[in-house]
Amino acid sequence: MRTGERSTRLKYGCAVTFAAFAACSTLAHVYAAPAYAASTKEWQFEQKHHHSGYHKFYIAPKAVKIVNTNLGYQLVSKAPDWNVSIFRNDDKVICTLTRNQYYKQQAVHPDNLRINKFPVVGKEELLGTKTTVYRGPHHDDWVATFKDVPVEVYDLITAYYKTPPVDGVVLKSYKPPVKGPKKTKLASMWLDEHESGTRLTASKLKELPYNAADFAIPKDFRKVMDVKAVTTSIEGRREAESIIEQMGVGEALGNSRGKK
């Protein structure tokens, strides 16, 4: 074989190999996202809190969403920065905070004593998943963990509730009866508004394939800096202002509708 012919064939062979490699790389890139989504799970469940009512949760290894069904707003936080987007669909407003800003807003800190440090008093299956029962100073908590879900997800849920952090999700919380008479009204309020009973329950827990749309953050909502502008609706704020004015407080503060 001549030298020129050998060189041409070598170049042709390298070109074919490179083209094949490029094609495989392109296919791998195209199918990587669907393959990841197909192998990743998300979990949905609802909770009833004895004080704040009903809430719906979506959790996954890289995202969490909370829906406050009573007040009509939602929270979404996603990897890698885990910023917290709080928005409502009716007024189309959104407020975005860093994770630390949200913790400060809720007056909580994830480095506080975690529920998992309390004594374990049992194991129990709830809603088809295994839980560990921890006994804290004032109540027992049934805690479940979910595959590959990180602490950032769990910490956002406890920050939302303003409760101690925990490595997992509390699916049930129960406060045993308080022994002895109440000493003072202040002490009673500090312990809880209920002497005993179920503080929190979960329901409708289900495992589903990951769906990115469940964790979507609106792009065209009006941005606001005040969280209260999101957690309460315009209608709700108007009703509150109306009540204040009817009580005469609004006029005393110079907020009377007739005052210019």
pLDDT digits (tens, 9 = 90+) for 233-249: 777 666 766 676 777 65
Residue 24 in this model has a pLDDT that exceeds 50:
no
pLDDT digits (tens, 9 = 90+) for 98-114: 999 999 999 998 888 99
Residue partners of 188: CB distance under 8 A and separation at least 6: 182, 195
Dmax of the chain from CA atoms? 105
Q: What amino acid is encoded at 145 in this protein? A: T
- What is the C-alpha to C-alpha distance for residues 67 and 54, in angstroms, rounded to an integer? 9
Distance between CA atoms of 228 and 132, rounded to whole angstroms?
36
Nearest CA to 125 among 192, 202, 199, 55? 202
At 215, is the secondary structure helix, strand, or coil? helix
Question: Given CA atoms 107, 112, 118, 122 in this order, what sign does their dihedral have?
Answer: positive
Confidence label for 88 from pLDDT (cuts 50, 70 and 90): very high
Q: Could you give the CA distance from residue 227 to residue 87 in angstroms, rounded to a whole number? A: 9
Calculate the average pLDDT of the chain. 82
Separation of alpha carbons 180 and 120, rounded Å: 25
Q: Using H for helix, E for strand and C for coil, what is the string for 181-214? A: CCCCHHHHHHHCCCCCEEEEEEEEEEEEECCHHH
Q: Please check the confidence at residue 166 and state whether its pLDDT lies above 50.
A: yes
- What three-state secondary structure class fits 130? strand
Asked whether residue 17 carries a pLDDT value surpassing 90, the answer given is no
Report the Cα–Cα distance between both ends of the chain, in Å, rounded: 100
**Preceding omega of 218 cis (within 30 degrees of 0):** no
Residue 84 makes CB contacts below 8 A (sequence gap 6+) with 75, 76, 77, 96, 97, 98, 99, 101, 102, 156
The CA distance from 69 to 169, in Å, is 19
Question: CA quadruple 82, 84, 90, 93: dihedral positive or negative?
Answer: negative
For the segment 8-16, the average pLDDT, to the nearest whole number, is 46
| Whole-angstrom distance, CA of residue 74 vs CA of residue 100 | 18
Query: Residue 13 pLDDT more than 60?
Result: no
Q: Answer yes or no: are the C-beta atoms of 142 and 172 closer than 8 Å.
A: yes
